[in-house]
Amino acid sequence: MKIRLVGISSSPKKRSTYKLVEIALEAAKDAVLKEKSDAEVITEIVSFKGKKIRGCIDCGACLKRAGCILKDDWYECIKYLINPVPDGVIIGSPVYFYSVNAQLRAFFERCRSLNKKDWFEKYPDQIPDWTKTAAGAVTTGYHRNGGQEHAAASIINWFLLDGFVSVGSYALKNAYIESPRGYTAGTAVADQTSVDPPILADECGIEVVKTLGTRIGETALRLHLGDAILNKDK
């Protein structure tokens, strides 16, 4: 059995956000292997570092012809989520002005070209079915209350409106005050400039990110196995 987990880091750097995505993916992989030690778990991370992704310009071309006509790196990034569709996804963003950064917003906007009903039949990919993909958000900001949860909500809303199975960082094991408590995402503070990457100083944040990753791994596995049972006679 093969489980594929994809991480996306929308930061223009390979620094704190990238590290959080890496940590969450590692925890997700461990969670799968804990329950199914013979599973083959593949993890891949897409970094927006050096990538150019423009926002949608509402030209309408994708309604009439092959997908998005804008020429940049969007397809290079989105292809990890569509060809094939992964079992689990972690999307991470640095907080920019209390929300996700512009690159991630642009990435989301361009996905409009993927799901129009009058789809151009020669487009190389099928409309992605993300309804069996477990998805979680991680965010990092410089300040403790800098907008991490607001940025995460933006990512989670994209998961919900494009059909993903949105997973948060709540887990029974850390529902009590003794250990870091998870809520809707994995959020952390990167204010320690003496540490590289700065996010590693936030032990509490890292714990919550690991919990999110664990839940992504567990949910991805269940969705994969459930789908295999439901489709075995088809």
Q: Can you give the binding site for ligand FMN, defined by CB under 6 A?
A: 11, 13, 15-17, 94-98, 140-143, 146-147, 190
5 has which bridge partners?
43, 88
Strand, helix or coil for residue 100: coil
Give the nearer residue to ligand FMN in terms of CB position, either 94 or 213: 94
Q: Give burial (CB, 10 Å; 0-12/13-18/19+) of 161.
A: exposed
Smallest separation, CB 154 to ligand FMN (Å)? 13
Give the nearer residue to ligand FMN in terms of CB position, either 13 or 36: 13
Smallest separation, CB 212 to ligand FMN (Å)? 17
Give the integer Cα–Cα distance in Å for 171 and 155.
Answer: 20
Smallest separation, CB 169 to ligand FMN (Å)? 18
Give the integer Cα–Cα distance in Å for 213 and 36.
Answer: 16
Closest residue to ligand FMN, based on beta-carbon distance? 146
Q: Residue 162 corresponds to which tokens in the numbers above?
A: 């494009």
Smallest separation, CB 46 to ligand FMN (Å)? 14
